[in-house]
């Protein structure tokens, strides 16, 4: 504490100690946090070494740039509108942000943005203090995946195993009570159906769980055209018998580094669905195309089939055992396993559809 009338020496020593403390605090902060300062336009005017380390950009590449240079496109515009609205009002903003580094890898940061205010209470610059939480986010995603596995397991047990098990128990008790061999033989012949349903459901459960565990599946350089040709060979009888026209265009993205068995599975499930749900009123035409957008490869499969009421069915579209047209061959597993495989490879799948017009399915592969 200074005296009421300090001499110049005392004042100098006091200021020196203050600056020394501030310098030590800055060193401590730089050692533990990712720090950036921007002006009121959002242009970067300072970054510390940790910012450069995690973003893979040099200070020269960052200074003068906007934070859009590390925008991952993960968050929507409303997310950043809320951020800017908060700090421009002189309030502190806190949240988690997913960013993209120079080498196109992604990282998560827990972020606090503090506005520095002038004498009029208006921000003149913003200090963003971030901490790397990428590992925690990955663990969080893994936990959500395991929770989903458990939910899937419970769903299958409660909705798909209970009925055939009840039938088996009923039939076996009836067989035990039969008085003649002929009666037992008739009832025993009915056991095959619930047994087959149990076996099929069990295999589906194993397959869906295996996909989620198989994230390290081997990837290879795969040709979309080669995979489609193999799928069309399998479906050739249906294609010829129903005079189906297949149009493909892989010029923009002919190849991908990806698990081949998954790509074959996507094409088979989506093309066979188009065939299964074709309209009796017109020739079925299926368009299959790949294209590039925002650094990702997309696969697009469009048909002019029966289509679906997306308003009522969008949330159920990729659900287990969900069917929509009463087709006797539909099991409600193809889209479920396709979505499981796509998401296991960090991709996304979504659809657009209109009744009696057709459907389009999009698969966005992980940025590669």
Terminal CA-CA length for the chain = 60
217, 224, 225, 363 from 298: Cα distances, Å:
20, 11, 14, 6
Res. 1 pLDDT band, cuts 50 70 90: very low
Nearest Cα to Cα of residue 274 among 290, 257, 288: 288
pTM comes to 0.50
Residue positions counted in the chain: 368
Instruction: Convert the pLDDT of each residue in 178-216 to its tens digit.
Output: 888 888 888 888 888 778 777 766 666 666 566 555 556
Tokens representing 102 are 């120079």
Among 70-79, 247-256, 337-346, the minimum mean pLDDT is found in 337-346
Quote the CA–CA distance of 360 and 264 in Å, as a whole number.
18
Tokens representing 176 are 């035990």
Question: Residue 109: is its pLDDT beyond 90?
Answer: yes
108, 160, 238, 245, 278 from 242: Cα distances, Å:
50, 33, 6, 9, 10
Instruction: Convert the pLDDT of each residue in 61-90 to its tens digit.
Output: 999 999 999 999 899 999 999 999 999 999
CB 284 within 8 A of CB 303: yes
pLDDT of residue 340: 81
Quote the CA–CA distance of 176 and 109 in Å, as a whole number.
65
Neighbour-count burial of 256, counting CB atoms closer than 10 A to its CB (0-12 exposed, 13-18 middle, 19+ buried): buried
């Amino acid at each position: 504490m200074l005296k009421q009338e300090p001499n110049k020496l005392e004042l100098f020593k006091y200021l020196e100690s203050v600056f020394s403390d501030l310098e030590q605090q800055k060193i401590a902060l730089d050692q533990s946090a990712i720090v950036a300062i921007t002006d009121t336009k959002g242009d970067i005017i300072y970054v510390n070494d940790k910012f450069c380390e995690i973003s893979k950009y040099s200070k020269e590449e960052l200074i003068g740039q906007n934070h859009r240079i590390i925008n991952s496109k993960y968050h929507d515009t409303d997310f950043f509108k809320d951020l800017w609205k908060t700090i421009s009002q002189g309030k502190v903003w806190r949240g988690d942000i997913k960013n993209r580094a120079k080498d196109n890898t992604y990282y998560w940061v827990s972020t606090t943005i503090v506005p520095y205010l002038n004498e009029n209470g208006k921000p003149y610059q913003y200090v963003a203090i971030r901490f790397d939480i990428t590992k925690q986010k990955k663990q969080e995603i893994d936990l959500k995946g395991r929770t989903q596995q458990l939910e899937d397991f419970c769903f299958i047990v409660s909705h798909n195993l209970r009925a055939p098990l009840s039938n088996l128990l009923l039939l076996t008790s009836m067989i035990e009570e039969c008085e003649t061999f002929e009666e037992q033989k008739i009832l025993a012949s009915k056991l095959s159906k619930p047994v087959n349903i149990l076996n099929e459901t069990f295999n589906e459960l194993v397959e869906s769980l295996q996909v989620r565990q198989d994230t390290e599946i081997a990837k290879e350089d795969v040709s979309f055209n080669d995979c489609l040709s193999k799928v069309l060979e399998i479906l050739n009888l249906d294609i010829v018998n129903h005079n189906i026209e297949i149009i493909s265009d892989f010029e923009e993205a002919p190849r991908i580094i990806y698990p081949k068995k998954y790509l074959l599975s996507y094409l088979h499930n989506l093309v066979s669905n188009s065939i299964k749900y074709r309209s009796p009123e017109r020739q079925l035409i299926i368009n299959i195309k790949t294209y590039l957008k925002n650094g990702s490869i997309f696969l697009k499969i469009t048909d002019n089939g029966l289509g679906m009421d997306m308003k009522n069915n969008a949330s159920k579209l990729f659900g287990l055992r969900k069917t929509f047209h009463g087709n006797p061959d539909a099991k409600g597993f193809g889209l479920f396993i396709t979505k499981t495989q796509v998401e296991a490879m960090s991709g996304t799948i979504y659809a657009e559809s209109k009744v009696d017009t057709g459907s389009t399915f999009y698969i966005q592969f992980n940025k590669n």
